[in-house]
Structure 1
Amino acid sequence: YILRHRNPGRTEEKAHPVLLSIMPETYGVMVYQEDVIKVAHHFADLDLGEADVLRRGMSGKFRSREEFQKVKDKFIDNCRRKGESDYVIFEIWEQIASFAGYAFAKGHSASYAVESYQTLFLRAYFPLEYMVAVLNNGGGFYRPEFYVHEVRMLGGTVHPPCVNRSHYANAIYGTDVFIGFGFLRELESRVVERILKERASNGSFLSLEDFLDRVLISVEQVDVLIRINAFRFTNINKHELLWKAYFFLSKGKKIDHPKLFAPKHQDFKIPELYTTHLEMAFTQLELLGFCLCSPFELLIEPPKNSRGSKDLEKYLGHHIDIYGYLVTVKNTSTHNGKRMYFATLVDQHGQVFDTVLFPPVAAKYNFRGKGIYRFYGKVVSEFGFLSIEVIKMQKQDYVQDPRYADMKTSTKVFENKKAEAKANRIS
């Protein structure tokens, strides 16, 4: 269909006259499910009932039915009687067989077209709101992090969850998008309900202590909120907040009723603490499943070049060395059963590009999960669409998670401080 649409004269050269007369608007190519019925009726002289048996049989459920075989035999006999060659008969039959199993009815296709244009309007004129709605609807074909990435590319600022601004779903305020509590894998839904109910009834939380006085929550759950930096409005380092929370709540101890009066809180002297950018990124990876910074910032060795999707046209017909963060991989097989890959990636500038690994290359290299890959390959074009035929590929290493670089030392210090705090309370 595309080739005939793009190349005047190809339709008359390739299309069977009968098929072209049946389907002139699609250049003699079957596009809609009804086209199967048209071809069977007008080309093979089957009646409409027999043509519909053919259409239903092509779906796969009825292939073994005797009635379907009878219709197939009649299709072939009628075409031979009309003087069509076996080459043409079986070529058209194969087109029907390969097409009918996944074809849509024209009305179904039209309704999807209408919905697509409506969606395109929202995407064009309300891009941030649209992307937040897609995320709140459970995402789509891609992982949620790529819709979050698209929000940033569209000019939005993405914030991690906040106890004063976030809801269960993602929330948008102008160009600010706050990740919803629902994205925190370890946060219980009942805790979210308590936070939202208390905030709606009595206003925003003023401090960590104010939050703990008003919301029934375990130390494990408040730990999740602090680690994701949901109390950043206090301007207190999250490590210091964790100390405060552990002093405030005895681990494992739960209060089964709200407090009538806010108690006095003992002020403990806590050493100066700080949080690194890398630590925050790895915490987000753990709790959200993705980080809110560029994954290229996590590489041990920075990329050796800055080439991206924008450079593909310049390298058309030539080889390119490029880095990309994996979006998705499609595994497929050639007609002789050999494995090959199609992969979509995001470059260092946030733009998308596509790669192809043909069987000889796919036999040497595998995609080993999420991460950044370096590619060397040839830039090619098909219908004006640029992609890279990969020759070599290598996955790049992330830096070590700084939170666990000195785990034994930090744990020992933390336990010592807890014991000291307990002694102070007893005294």
Structure 2
Amino acid sequence: VLDFVYEKYGRNRVAMIATLNTFAARGAIRELGKAFGLSSAELSDITKRLPWGKLGDLQKTMQKYPECRDLPLDKEPYKTIIELAYKIEGFPRHLSIHCGGVVIAPGELLDMAPLQLSAKGIAITQYDMYDIAALGLVKIDLLGQRGLSTIGDAEAFAATAAGAKIEYDYNDLTTFDMLRQGRTIGVFQIESPGLRSLLIEMQPKTLDDITLALALIRPGAAESGMKKVFLERLAGERPVEYPHQSLEPILKETLGNIIYQEQVLRVAEAMAGFSPGQADLLRKAMTKERDVKEFHAFLDKFMNQATARGVPYLKAREVFALLTKFAGYGFCKAHAATYAMLSYRAAFLKAHHPVEFMAAMLNNFAGYYAPFVYADEARRLGAKLSPPDIDKPSRLCEVDNGCLRIGLAFVKNLSAETIDKTIAERAKRPFVSLADFLARVHPGKDEAISLIRVGALDFLGETRPSLLWYMKLYGEKILRHQPEAFSLGELWAPQLQFAPGLPDYSLAEKLAAEQEILEMAISCHPTELVAESDNCTKSIELSGRQGKDVRIVGLVVDRKRIKTNGSQLMVFLTMEDSQDYFEVTVFPEIYRKFGARIFRKPILEVTGKAQNKHGVLTVIANNLRACA
């Protein structure tokens, strides 16, 4: 769509709109820390424990959040860094690109606003959307959706593997079975811990059930108590009741709850005889930014027309109060239904073409979780993961007979220029040695070392330490010369015979290199190298341990800190081992005791009780031990 806009109106009249990124707490400390010579690892250990947002009162923050209590912020150089961070907080950091904002000028855009090229080569305005509006120009939102690209790429991968176009069955038993188990990591819109748990509780059987789940998960549904009431009614713990018998046909699908915006309209039509247009005006008048005079005019009209239709005054007033409560929270059913259709397609692809789907998920850098989670899920679904390979170079991940090969784009700090040159040179002829690769592609020294460490040159038949030894011996000399300045066969071949036969990396060393450079585990799941305590439970065994004490080791993949009704902090963890993922609840007392471990250590041993509520398995933690 963006290409169409640029072509139709001309690149001299179209630009993306900039946003002005400013320094908040984490960014200010990180940038100042770099200036003070601190390493990325040191800075990450500090900043990842701080809450998002402004610095505020750090003493209160350190008292409030257990993971912040031992931060060395009163010692140098952190003390000075914090003092300076307060001074630059809120200052502009850099221009970024608005997620979808585009401006189209009636004439030359440069005559109206300054422009600059982004790192991606796209022209952006140096003004943000407010300044653009002040100039009299119109901001148009053209929002991209990576979920659509993921589905499209997965369809292409799957069609290639199957030799036929993918046809969707919207009543597929395998897909719905996967949905009912909450195995939706990577699936558009329904992969978060909250939605996976909701799917398990709801046990969806139709697209309408998925639509309902997407509406129920919205913050308004939870905050208003609507979600809780619905689930209790679904489980038979509370009777299904309707505000008035005339509303049963409208509210039956949502068990007597007003969940969709469309239901607000239909209730007003059924009870007070409003026209569809009047009902929509009523809905708008009930929003948080309501006009008091307009609101009371609608109240009077609703009451008069409802009582004229035989509805008792108190009952009409009760229904109007319900509409007022839920109108601002209700979710548009048409929107939810569209998302549900896309969610189902993604789920269908994952259920029937899991490796191809997870490759597409990685390639689009989409989703709720970090890429390593999708790589781990691909392994669990039967994929054989392999590292980037310059003998079969590709920018993105590729699938070949069940093998998912990671693309060069996942190698940290590997430039697009080096990736393109590698692909172009390999297309001409194979690389026959490290020297051949270095001379023809001319990567940066650190780029070459990273490629060696993650196994991208394993096809040469040398161990990674041997290749690093070659790199130190003559690789840096090659990179200091122009490629055409020497003959590889004559100049460098004699030195190769003196290379020692160095043993290869251990599995732990390979895993460490992969996690550092690719930010994912290729050789094995990280928990497989952890020495477990006696009687440890595996994730797939939790269902048989309901109500019992368990000890389980897992990698933390998501943390969600919330406040209880008593305003105390607690944490929900999503964790995984090599076989499955599982949820852990950390109540306030345990969080206060072990909070630092939760946010600093990736692998934890959790001791607690396995609980099953409405089919959702959770470990209620009473102890957390850091494993790595």
TM-score (norm 2): 0.56
Please say if 1:24 is aligned against 2:255: no
**1:422 corresponds to which residue?**
none
Count of residues in correspondence between the two structures: 389
Letter in 1 for 2:461: N
Match of 1:328 among 549, 552, 558: 558
Please say if 1:146 is aligned against 2:369: no
1:126 CA displacement: 1.0
1:253 CA displacement: 5.2
1:170 CA displacement: 0.7
1:102 CA displacement: 5.2
Please say if 1:359 is aligned against 2:585: no
Within-5 A mapping of 1:124-139: 124-139=351-366
**1:195 corresponds to which residue?**
422
Structure with more contact order per residue of length (Cα contacts < 8 Å, sep ≥ 6): 2
> Matched residue of 2:499: which SS?
coil
Within-5 A mapping of 1:65-84: 65-66=291-292, 69-70=295-296, 73-74=299-300, 77-78=303-304, 82-84=311-313
Letter in 2 for 1:33: Q
**1:204 corresponds to which residue?**
430
**1:412 corresponds to which residue?**
none
How many Å separate the matches in 1 of 2:383 and 2:501?
Answer: 33
- More displaced, 386-395 or 174-183? 386-395
Gaps (5+ residues) in structure 2?
1-229
How many Å separate the matches in 1 of 2:484 and 2:292?
Answer: 72
**2:3 corresponds to which residue?**
none
> Matched residue of 2:559: which SS?
strand
Structure exhibiting the larger radius of gyration computed from Cα positions = 1
> Matched residue of 2:495: which SS?
coil
Assess if the C-alpha contact under 8 Å between 1:356 and 1:387 holds in 2.
yes
**2:626 corresponds to which residue?**
395
Within-5 A mapping of 1:331-350: 331-347=561-577, 349-350=578-579
> Matched residue of 1:23: which SS?
helix
Change in Cα spacing, 1:71 to 1:286, as seen in structure 2 (3 Å) is farther
1:46 CA displacement: 5.0
How many Å separate the matches in 2 of 1:9 and 1:250?
Answer: 73
TM-score (norm 1): 0.80
Letter in 2 for 1:123: K
How many Å separate the matches in 2 of 1:92 and 1:386?
Answer: 39
Please say if 1:285 is aligned against 2:515: yes
> Matched residue of 1:303: which SS?
coil
User: 1:304-353 deviations in whole A, cap 9, x for unaligned?
Assistant: 33302333233222322222211212222233422222221113x42111
Letter in 2 for 1:216: H
Letter in 2 for 1:276: S
Please say if 1:221 is aligned against 2:447: yes
Change in Cα spacing, 1:218 to 1:359, as seen in structure 2 (3 Å) is closer
1:285 CA displacement: 1.6
User: 1:101-147 deviations in whole A, cap 9, x for unaligned?
Assistant: 3512x322222222222222211221110110111111311111111
Change in Cα spacing, 1:340 to 1:55, as seen in structure 2 (3 Å) is farther
- More displaced, 364-373 or 13-22? 13-22
How many Å separate the matches in 2 of 1:345 and 1:84?
Answer: 53
How many Å separate the matches in 1 of 2:513 and 2:590?
Answer: 36
Over aligned residue pairs, what C-alpha RMSD do you find?
A: 3.0
How many Å separate the matches in 1 of 2:479 and 2:238?
Answer: 80
How many Å separate the matches in 1 of 2:499 and 2:532?
Answer: 36
1:239 CA displacement: 1.9
How many Å separate the matches in 2 of 1:128 and 1:222?
Answer: 29
Letter in 1 for 2:378: V
Assess if the C-alpha contact under 8 Å between 1:53 and 1:68 holds in 2.
no
Assess if the C-alpha contact under 8 Å between 1:23 and 1:30 holds in 2.
yes
Within-5 A mapping of 1:21-420: 21-43=249-271, 48-56=276-284, 60=288, 63-66=289-292, 69-70=295-296, 73-74=299-300, 77-78=303-304, 82-85=311-314, 89=317, 93-94=321-322, 96-98=324-326, 100-101=328-329, 103-104=331-332, 106-200=333-427, 202-250=428-476, 254-256=480-482, 258=484, 262-264=488-490, 265=492, 266-268=494-496, 269-274=498-503, 275-292=505-522, 293-299=524-530, 301-347=531-577, 349-366=578-595, 367-369=598-600, 371-396=602-627, 398=628
Change in Cα spacing, 1:124 to 1:270, as seen in structure 2 (3 Å) is same
Assess if the C-alpha contact under 8 Å between 1:356 and 1:389 holds in 2.
yes
> Matched residue of 1:34: which SS?
helix
User: 1:51-74 deviations in whole A, cap 9, x for unaligned?
Assistant: 3234335565xx153455335644
Assess if the C-alpha contact under 8 Å between 2:604 and 2:626 holds in 1.
yes
How many Å separate the matches in 1 of 2:549 and 2:304?
Answer: 54
1:167 CA displacement: 0.9
Assess if the C-alpha contact under 8 Å between 2:303 and 2:313 holds in 1.
no
> Matched residue of 2:605: which SS?
strand
Assess if the C-alpha contact under 8 Å between 1:307 and 1:321 holds in 2.
yes
User: 1:192-219 deviations in whole A, cap 9, x for unaligned?
Assistant: 000001112x132222122223222232
Percentage of matched positions with identical amino acids: 27
Letter in 2 for 1:355: V
How many Å separate the matches in 1 of 2:305 and 2:557?
Answer: 49
